[in-house]
Amino acid sequence: MSFFDKLNKMKQFAKEKVGKAETTADSQEYVDAVAQFKATKHELTGFLESAKKWHKAQTSALDSFMGLGVSTATVQSTDVTAHNSLRAFGTFIAEAHTAQASALSAFKAQVVDGINDLIEGDIKACDKLIKKASDARLDFDAKQASFKSAVESKKASQADIDAAQAKADEAESQHNSLKREVLVSCKTIEDKKKAIVTAQLGEYAKATVTGANEEIGAANKFISSTQ
């Protein structure tokens, strides 16, 4: 970009700030897509923060639960029934820990990592793309203003006018191309969001059911050993 083009772009930006410049309006489709993207970004960022906090708390609780099992092994009894019950309880803790750890691992993989990957990948990339499209719009409007100025100028030659129009046309093409990329990116993000809140949350739920059943089985086995 030439110094002259940069200067005109700065002038366009300054005029827009005070409402004295013509600006290109985006289509309603584009406006709606960007608004939905921003909402999704906000929602998933908050959801991820809560998911990470819960996962951290559950991981800590799981470690403490395993510590309970280890402590159980240090408790001794001269009574055979009590001794056997203590050892069976230790086994129950170990099996229940494995079941809970499996469900927690599924939560990390399907929910935490799934959302984090979407935010760090597609969402951050779309953010940058939207900013590029906005900058391209500013560049187009600046060059379009230069073209109109050349047309209205008595000093501009036809060659000057044609050159200004060519620059404006090229800037417009770049702007439209970036907007199409934004629309595709926004659609991809919504599709991936849908996959997370349906399929991936569903996989975590299945893992939770499996873990719960395994924990119940371990508990019933321990209860039977005490009777």
Mean pLDDT, residues 121-145:
94
DSSP per-residue letters across 35-98: HHHHHHHHHHHHHHHHHHHHHHHHHHHHHHHHHHHHHHTT---SSHHHHHHHHHHHHHHHHHHH
Over residues 176-222, the pLDDT tens digits come to 999 999 999 999 999 999 999 889 999 999 999 999 999 999 999 99
**Band of residue 41 on the pLDDT scale cut at 50, 70, 90:** very high
Whether residue 109 is contained in a domain is answered as yes
pLDDT at residue 59 is higher than 80: yes
C-alpha dihedral sign at 13, 17, 20, 22: positive
pLDDT at residue 98 is higher than 70: yes
Whether residue 145 is contained in a domain is answered as yes
Whether residue 11 is contained in a domain is answered as no
C-alpha dihedral sign at 56, 58, 62, 64: positive
- The conformation of residue 21, written as its DSSP 8-state character, comes to S
Whether residue 4 is contained in a domain is answered as no
pLDDT at residue 13 is higher than 90: no
pLDDT at residue 1 is higher than 70: no
**Which amino acid is it at 131?**
K
Whether residue 10 is contained in a domain is answered as no
**Distance separating alpha carbons of residues 6 and 14, to the nearest angstrom:** 12
Question: How much is the pLDDT for 53?
Answer: 97
DSSP per-residue letters across 148-206: HHHHH-SS--HHHHHHHHHHHHHHHHHHHHHHHHHHHHHHHHHHHHHHIIIIIHHHHHH
**Band of residue 17 on the pLDDT scale cut at 50, 70, 90:** low
Whether residue 67 is contained in a domain is answered as yes
The boundaries of the domain holding residue 197 are 25-226
Question: How much is the pLDDT for 24?
Answer: 85
**Band of residue 18 on the pLDDT scale cut at 50, 70, 90:** low
Whether residue 179 is contained in a domain is answered as yes
Residues above pLDDT 70, as percent of the chain = 94
For residue 13, with 0-12 CB atoms within 10 Å meaning exposed, 13-18 middle and 19 or more buried, which class applies?
A: middle
CATH number, position 47: 1.20.1270.60
- The answer to whether the CB of 175 falls within 8 A of the CB of 133 is yes
Question: How much is the pLDDT for 70?
Answer: 87
Helix axes 3-17 and 124-152, enclosed angle (nearest 10) = 100
pTM of the shown model:
0.82
Long-range CB contacts for residues 69-77, cutoff 8 Å, separation at least 24: 69/93, 69/94, 69/97
Question: How much is the pLDDT for 154?
Answer: 79
- Count how many domains the chain has: 1
Report the range of poorest mean pLDDT among 13-17, 64-68, 155-159.
Answer: 13-17
